Amino acid sequence: MKFFTATLAALVAAGSALAAPMNAAEPRGLLSPITTKDIPTRSPGGSWTGTWAPSGPGSASAPVIIAVNAAIDVVAEVEALIKADLEIIAGLVVKVNVDAQLLLKAIISLKGHLQQFQQAGDCLKGTTAPNTGLTAAELEIVLYLVVRVEALVADVQLCLKNLVVSVKADVLAVIGVELKIVLGLIAPIVAPIVKIALSLVVGLEVTLSVLVTKITLAVGHINSCVSGITVLINLPILSVFIGIL
């Protein structure tokens, strides 16, 4: 599946956005028109109840829902760790004299936690959509996973963009190798999540149109964030220090 579908104009626009000043007012997290009341809540390892209870374990959709739940558990375990890394990085890059070694340490920590995040996609590999399609309750669970991933990837993309446009060449020379690895992790992390989410909405566009729209909007924003990271990778200033991925 071709992961990026952005036009050249969209990439140019994303590149232009890098020149814009970064400030606290820039939106973070969920940018698609979904609010927290639109998705169910669930504690790590917990079971869905009430409105959000999926079909029973013997249903055709049980294997994919079990896999999605496993992926949700992975996200729940790593998102606080990733956000902590991003806060440290954000705090370092705004300093007049950036401590390159501390920044390198934070990027290495982020790399490790992103590699843990990649296990969410691993949970979904080999999973296929059931022939019968999902119920509304089951599709809500897919939505829950997608919007959590959307928010986390948006935060990562914003932080890395700020890093790249903020630090000086001597700092990039120190962090370049690890930054290259981090930038290269994002697309492989989200690709299996996006793939299964889009496969699960096929054929439900009429019967569950609202949920399908929410999922596809969230997936669209995930793809946009990954495209933004691709723009970062191809910036001339990065090609000097870390090469083209």
Strands (E), the chain: none
- What is the SS3 assignment for 182-242? HHHHHHHHHHHHHHHHHHHHCCCCCCCHHHHHHHHHHHHHHHHHHHHHHHHHCCHHHHHHC
Q: How many CB atoms lie within 10 A of CB 110?
A: 26
Measured distance CA(243)–CA(64) in Å, rounded: 39
Q: How many residues make up the chain in this entry?
A: 245
Measured between alpha carbons, how far is 79 from 97 in angstroms, rounded to an integer? 29
Radius of gyration of the chain (CA): 19
The label of the residue with tokens 């940018």 reads: 31
pLDDT per residue of the chain (245 residues) written in tens, 0 to 9: 443 333 223 322 333 333 333 333 332 333 333 333 444 445 544 554 434 444 554 556 678 888 999 999 999 999 999 999 999 999 999 998 999 999 999 999 999 999 999 999 999 988 888 877 788 888 899 999 999 999 999 999 999 999 998 898 899 989 988 998 899 999 999 999 999 999 998 888 767 888 989 999 999 999 999 999 988 877 776 666 554 44
Full-model pTM? 0.75
Residue range of the domain that includes 221? 59-241
| pLDDT score for 228 | 92
Task: Give the DSSP letter of residue 45.
Answer: T
Q: 39 lies in a domain?
A: no
- Is residue 200 included in any domain, yes or no? yes
Q: What is the pLDDT of residue 59?
A: 59
Exposed/middle/buried for residue 15 (C-beta within 10 Å: 0-12, 13-18, 19+): middle
* Short-list 214, 150, 157, 210, CA closest to 183: 157
pLDDT of residue 190: 95
What pLDDT shows up at residue 241? Answer: 56
Residue 228: Cβ within 10 Å count: 23
Amino acid residing at 94: V
Within a domain: 13: no
Tally of domains within the chain: 1
Angle formed by the axes of helices 100-124 and 62-93, to 10°? 170
Give residue 161's pLDDT: 92
